[in-house]
Amino acid sequence: MMKIKEDLLNECLKEIINKKNVFSAVLRVESGDHSFSWTGAAGEMQKDSQYFIASVTKLYVTAIVMRLIEEGKLKLDDHIAKYFPSEFMQGLHVLKGVEYSNEITIKHLISNTSGLPDYFFHKQANGKTAASLLLEGNDQSWDLETTIQTVKKLTPNFFPGKKGKAAYSDTNYQLLGRIIEIITEKNIDDVFKEFLFDELSLRHTYVYNDTTDKKPVSFYYKSKKLWLPDYMVSVPAEGGIVSTAEESMLFLKEFFSGRFFPKENIEKLKKWNLILPPPSLFYYGIGLEKLFTPRIISPFKPIKEIVGFWGQTGSFAWYHPDTDLYFCGTTNQINGAGHAAAGKAMLKIIKSVL
């Protein structure tokens, strides 16, 4: 029977909400054997509030891709040129005068090893990024066509599949979303609903597709509240899902229990590359992330592997196999403060039961 003191959990939630510029938070912790479940909310959130899970959406995409592989509808080694017309592919990835566009595979996209620039953070000719404009509150759509037009003007990070190299790029997942639509012959919203939401009877989880929808809790950049409906509607596969802590937890547990694809295949996703320099250390595998947990954090009882996903808005969904603990929720803060606070809380809770 899992035992975690409620005082500790409330203390962790308090530390998250006390972090500068974290105005809302929800934290849910559960054990794999269903013997323990706790949810806490603070600030502008209630325990059942709906929120943008942002890039945690990519874990849902992983579930779909792995299922399509099981059904024999795609392979990780498939070249993406198989799914797009030649004019779309031409000039997509040109590095030092060499065109690598037709070498990009599904695996390169889902593991962020394609080398394709991230339309979101990559500096454009005017010195601005899509992110900087959005964070200033300039809401705009970034559909795949707009993204590809932009990316073709940018310099790739490295050639596809370069050993030891990975670069986080939302461009990869926009392409992956379109490929899923082509394979299934369905809109990505419908694929999520049929493959995952209906499968798990998730009644409060959906793809954000209506700019008048005000149900999700707003997120912040520093002290500025952001409401970017045009943008959120345009990025369903890279970060468009809205959910609750309870339903995010349900998906997370089913993902790691083998509901969508054979559980043993999770080990095949653990092909890690370090994705970001300090202090934002985490690893990226095949549609899966791993937290960097240095030994110094818990020298006598190593924390080892924590796997799952971060979202740009401070959302998170993580699993610690050694303690069989699951964590999900959000801090609704883009600037990294919420990520740091949530990460610290998870480590504190894990250490309490090791």
pLDDT (tens digit, 9 = 90+) per residue, 218-263?
A: 999 999 999 999 999 999 999 999 999 999 999 999 999 999 999 9
Give the model's confidence band at 277: pLDDT under 50 very low, under 70 low, under 90 confident, else very high.
low
- Kindly report which listed range (122-131, 240-249, 340-349) carries the lowest average pLDDT score: 122-131
Q: Is the pLDDT of residue 128 over 90?
A: no
Query: How far apart (Å, rounded) are the C-alpha atoms in residues 278 and 299?
Result: 20
What mean pLDDT do residues 35-40 have? Answer: 96
Q: What is the DSSP secondary-structure string of 209-262?
A: --TT---SBPEEETTEEE--HHHHHH-HHHH-EEE-HHHHHHHHHHHHHTSSS-
178-187, 225-234, 296-305, 330-339: least confidently modelled range: 296-305
CATH number at residue 96: 3.40.710.10
pLDDT at 278: 58
- Has residue 167 got a pLDDT over 70? yes
Q: How many domains does the chain have?
A: 1
Residues 330-349: what's their mean pLDDT?
A: 95
Please state, rounded to an integer, the average pLDDT across all residues of the chain.
95
Mean pLDDT to the nearest integer, 10-30: 97
Q: How many CB atoms lie within 10 A of CB 155?
A: 10
Lowest mean pLDDT among 20-34, 206-220, 254-268, 286-300: 286-300
Range of the domain at 235: 1-354
